[in-house]
């Protein structure tokens, strides 16, 4: 019983963090039809920025986190600017964004080294859940925070005027331009939201696990695999797939060890895609 409760709670926390990363990645693809291979940069830079600000300037963790997320958004806009001239060429976009990700990884590696680092948690301490089951309070807090952000994203996309314009652009770019929607502005809003979600995911993740420079590309692999599993362009599919992956990740970590978790996670994703090649919510073109 204790193991099941721990699996559900920890799996939901990790799944929520994965969902923040993957939903942003899916949002960009759904609107612009480009694969942003620099998505992991926002995840890592927000966490490293917050860690640096706390260490060097003794800032409060909340303020440092907000600044870290703001820096992630700025980097997202930089990616938008450098890919704008080659946006029509999908291969060039992948090359440019991947090169940018590798460049940032090298800068972080030079500045912080290769050892794992963690961010001061919003709330420290351990909470007794059930009998002998204890869990870090930050792991529990990550659940409502991630879910609240995902619900806010869903409400924004489906209820707000800007969200409806984002949907219109994702469905038909040319028609959206004809009815007067500023497509470039929609692209900017989309990448800003996506970068903020990845940045917030980095803040939450670094309060639960150590973060290191290689996470830039590792997170990209997670996001890409989850988005394909959920169905390319489907935000809700990405969110559902993220929680599936989160539960598999934690179950494997508890039974076989941490070093097997990524391997089993990817095997499960491949198995599901063999059964349903279009992903959970994907449709055949």
Return the domain boundaries, the chain: 13-216
What average pLDDT does the structure give for the chain? 90
How many Å apart are CA 222 and CA 214, to the nearest integer?
Answer: 13
Instruction: Pick left, alpha or beta for residue 60 (phi over 0 → left; psi -120 to 50 → alpha; otherwise beta).
Output: beta
Q: What pLDDT shows up at residue 75?
A: 96
Tokens of 58: 């003794």
Residue 136 has pLDDT above 70, yes or no: yes
pLDDT over 80 (residue 130): no
Dist CA 214 CA 49 (whole Å): 16
| pLDDT of 129 over the 70 cut | yes
User: For the segment 235-267, what is each residue's pLDDT rounded down to a tens digit?
Assistant: 888 899 999 989 988 889 888 887 788 788 878
Please tell me the distance from the alpha carbon of residue 147 to that of residue 20, in angstroms, as a whole number.
9
Cβ-based burial of 56 (10 A; exposed 0-12, middle 13-18, buried ≥19): exposed
Tens of pLDDT, residues 199-217: 999 999 999 999 999 999 9
Tens of pLDDT, residues 45-103: 999 999 999 999 999 999 999 999 999 999 999 999 999 999 889 899 999 999 999 99
Buried b (16+ CB within 10 A) or exposed e, 198-224: bbbbbbbbbbbeebbbebbbebbebbb
How many CB atoms neighbour CB 62 within 10 A?
11
Reported confidence tier of residue 282, pLDDT bands at 50, 70, 90: low
Is pLDDT at 34 greater than 90 in this prediction? no
> How far is Cα 68 from Cα 32, in angstroms, rounded to an integer?
25
Q: Which residue has the higher pLDDT, 284 or 167?
A: 167
Mean pLDDT within 3-29: 91
Q: Which residue bears the tokens 């759904």?
A: 30
159-192 as b/e: b if 16+ CB within 10 A:
eeeebebbebbbeebeebeeeebebeebbebbbb
Q: Which among 191, 192, 218 has a CA at the least distance from the CA of 205?
A: 218
Distance between CA atoms of residues 241 and 151, nearest Å: 16
């Amino acid at each position: 019983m204790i193991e099941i409760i721990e699996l559900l709670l920890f799996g939901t926390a990790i799944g929520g963090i994965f969902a923040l990363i993957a939903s942003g990645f899916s949002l960009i693809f759904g609107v612009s039809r480009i694969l942003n291979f620099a998505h992991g940069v926002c995840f890592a830079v927000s966490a490293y920025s917050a860690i640096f600000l706390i260490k060097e300037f003794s800032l409060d963790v909340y303020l440092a986190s907000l600044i870290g997320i703001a820096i992630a958004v700025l980097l997202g806009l930089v990616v938008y600017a450098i890919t704008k001239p080659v946006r029509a060429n999908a291969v060039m976009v992948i090359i440019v964004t991947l090169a940018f990700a590798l460049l940032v990884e090298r800068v972080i590696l030079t500045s912080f080294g290769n050892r794992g680092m963690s961010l001061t948690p919003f709330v420290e301490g351990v909470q007794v859940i059930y009998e002998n089951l204890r869990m870090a309070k930050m792991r529990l807090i990550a659940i409502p925070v991630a879910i609240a952000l995902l619900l806010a994203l869903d409400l924004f996309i489906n209820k707000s005027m800007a969200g409806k314009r984002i949907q219109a652009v994702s469905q038909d770019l040319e028609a959206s331009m004809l009815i007067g929607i500023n497509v470039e502005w929609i692209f900017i809003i989309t990448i800003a939201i996506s970068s903020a979600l990845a940045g917030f995911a980095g803040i939450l993740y670094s309060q639960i696990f150590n973060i290191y420079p290689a996470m830039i590309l590792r997170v990209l692999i997670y996001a890409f695999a989850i988005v394909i599993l959920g169905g390319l362009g489907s935000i809700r599919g990405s969110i559902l797939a993220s929680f599936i992956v989160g539960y598999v990740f934690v179950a494997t970590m508890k039974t076989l060890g941490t070093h097997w978790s990524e391997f089993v996670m990817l095997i499960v994703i491949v198995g599901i895609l063999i059964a349903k090649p279009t992903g959970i919510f994907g449709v055949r073109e």
